[in-house]
Every structure is written in C-alpha cells, then in structure tokens.
C-alpha cells in the first residue's frame, strides 16, 4: 500500500484512491456544502481562472480568506447588472480557505485517521493542512480551471505540497472531471504567484503562463468518494461544466513542515487564526 501510493505519485504526479469516502460520508459533506450556499454574503466576489485581469488576486477578500469561510461566485452566475442571474444554490464557484478549521464537518473529514494514514504512506513526518476549499462546478455555470501547478500558489521547498481532491459526486468528462498531464511534475516549477515584499496586498506572477500541449492531458474521471492525490508540481486542469449534473468536490492541501520551507511570499500565510498545525497530533473535534 505504502509503495503503491508513493510510487504512483512519484511516477505519474497523481494517485487515485478509490472508495476513500463512503457514499453516506460524501452525502454528509455535500449537504454541508449546500448549507454554505444558504448563508451567502451580500457582496459578490467572483472567482475565475480565465479572467485575464486576475481580479480575484487583487481582491482583499481573497487575500484575507486564509482564516475564514469566504465565498467566491461563478463568473457566469452574475448578470450585467452585477446581480445573481441563477439560483443562489448554484451560484458559487467555491468556498474557502479555512473550512478545515472552522466548519466541524469539514474539520472531521480533514483530520481523519484516513487522511493521516495517507500522509504516513507518502512519507510526511510533520504534515500540516494549510488550506481547504469546497468546489461546486455547478451545471451550466461551473467554470474552467486553466492548467496550472498547485506549487505556483503554494510554494514549498524542497518537498512539494500534496492536494487531496475528493469527489463528492461522480466526476465525468461531461461534468468537468480533472485532467492531468501525467509525469509533468518532473519538469520543475513553471511559474510562481508572489506577494510583493513591500506592498503585501499586491500579488503578481513571476513569469507568463506556460503553454502546454493539450495532447499531454489525460482525463481522470472518478466515482463519488474517490480521492485524487495531486503532487504540487503536476500540471492539471478541468473543463467547464456544460452538463446538467453538478460535480462537487472537497479539496485541501497538505505540506510537510519538517526540513521544508513554506515560502514567505506565498499569498497564503500562516496566521494566528490559521495555524499550520501538525496533522498527526490534531484531533478531529478540537
């Protein structure tokens, strides 16, 4: 088991763990995700990786979301007048980035023995969860996530972060499953998003976006309850959801703290209310 997960990550840059959660557990998380849509804030913040101005990255709301439950809307859910043009229950792109700390159900699944066991299997000595997101990818409005490496946003050295991406519903080619460029994690860090050292509110990329041949991507359709482990350096993406079925997922990122540096110029930083606590010694219920 140990070798299988670690070897898959090493070889391909991702590993598929089927039946990571049981259907009823997915349903519990799904219901919690839906519940979040019932407490939407008045102000609308859009999240779109295809927005050329990367408006969300300049946004205070985004920068401050490390220790909060913050709501990001789909671009296609907002009309020209700035108001919602779809039902609020399908208007969100994602909620993040501290569900693992602030919401008991998400906390329970994040700090579970299963997650701890996987971290042991991939050889982490002192893992810490640094961010979490509920991703909706709702029918019709669910936007594209352009190709990227997670290390662009969460830079750690020398050991890259690992993403846990858990399908709460079947993820298919039609409703926008992940696509991965297998083996691309062996090609280094292509781009970084940096916080300005003087103006800490300012973020910018150090290089233009890399161009990847579309033929290098493999779809990774998975059934409800599957967890895809994503190596921080592997290039991945997802298509817009033009189907009639939603594709909800819960995802969080784990870093190794021992003998590893979390870059001080990452947008996300440890804070008093968002400590990077050792996963192995943290209880689900604290």
* Position of minimal CB gap to ligand AKG: 238
175 binds ligand AKG (CB under 6 A): no
185 binds ligand AKG (CB under 6 A): no
Among 97, 100, 155, 236, binds ligand AKG (CB under 6 A): 236
Minimum distance between the CB of residue 163 and ligand AKG, rounded to whole angstroms? Answer: 6
Concatenate the DSSP letters of all residues of the chain into one string. -HHHHHHHHHHHSEEEETTSS-HHHHHHHHHHHHHHGGG--SS--B--TT-TT-HHHH-HHHHGGGGSEEEEE-GGGB-TTSSB-S-GGG-EEEEEE-HHHH-HHHHHHHTSHHHHHHHHHTT-SSEEEEEEEEE---TTTPPPEEEE-GGGTS-EESSPPEEEEEESS-B-TTTT-EEEETTGGGG-----EEE-SSSTT-EEESSPPP---GGGEEEE-B-TT-EEEEETT--EEE----SSS---EEEEEEEE-TT-EE-TTSSS--BTTB---BGGG--TT-
User: 67 vs 150, which CB is nearer to ligand AKG?
Assistant: 150
Minimum distance between the CB of residue 281 and ligand AKG, rounded to whole angstroms? Answer: 26
Among 97, 100, 107, 137, binds ligand AKG (CB under 6 A): 137
224 binds ligand AKG (CB under 6 A): no
User: 121 vs 149, which CB is nearer to ligand AKG?
Assistant: 149
251 binds ligand AKG (CB under 6 A): yes
Among 229, 249, 268, 274, binds ligand AKG (CB under 6 A): 249
Minimum distance between the CB of residue 272 and ligand AKG, rounded to whole angstroms? Answer: 25
Interface residues toward ligand AKG, by CB under 6 A: 135, 137, 145, 150, 163, 236, 238, 249, 251
């Amino acid at each position: 088991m140990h070798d299988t997960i670690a070897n898959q990550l090493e070889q391909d840059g991702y590993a598929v763990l089927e039946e990571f959660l049981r259907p009823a557990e997915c349903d519990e998380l799904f219901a919690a995700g839906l519940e979040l849509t019932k407490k939407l804030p008045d102000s609308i913040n859009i999240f779109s990786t295809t927005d050329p101005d990367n408006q969300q990255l300049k946004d205070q709301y985004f920068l401050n979301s490390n220790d909060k439950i913050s709501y990001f809307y789909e671009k296609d859910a907002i009309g020209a007048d700035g108001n919602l043009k779809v039902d609020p229950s399908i208007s969100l792109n994602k909620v993040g980035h501290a569900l693992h700390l602030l919401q008991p159900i998400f906390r329970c699944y994040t700090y579970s023995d299963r997650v701890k066991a996987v971290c042991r299997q991939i050889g982490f000595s002192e893992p810490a969860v640094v961010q979490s997101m509920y991703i909706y990818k709702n029918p019709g409005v669910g936007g594209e996530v352009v190709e990227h490496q997670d290390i662009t946003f969460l830079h750690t050295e020398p050991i890259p972060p690992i993403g846990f991406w858990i399908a709460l519903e079947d993820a298919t080619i039609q409703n926008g499953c992940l696509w991965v460029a297998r083996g691309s994690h062996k090609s280094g860090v292509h781009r970084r998003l940096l916080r300005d050292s003087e103006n800490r509110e300012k973020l910018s990329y150090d290089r233009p976006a890399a161009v990847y041949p579309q033929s290098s991507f493999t779809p990774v359709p998975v059934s409800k309850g599957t967890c895809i482990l994503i190596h921080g350096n592997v290039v991945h993406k997802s298509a817009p959801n033009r189907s009639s079925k939603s594709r909800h997922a819960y995802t969080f990122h784990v870093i190794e703290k021992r003998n590893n540096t979390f870059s001080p110029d990452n947008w996300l930083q440890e804070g008093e209310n968002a400590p990077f606590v050792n996963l192995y010694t943290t209880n689900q219920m604290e």
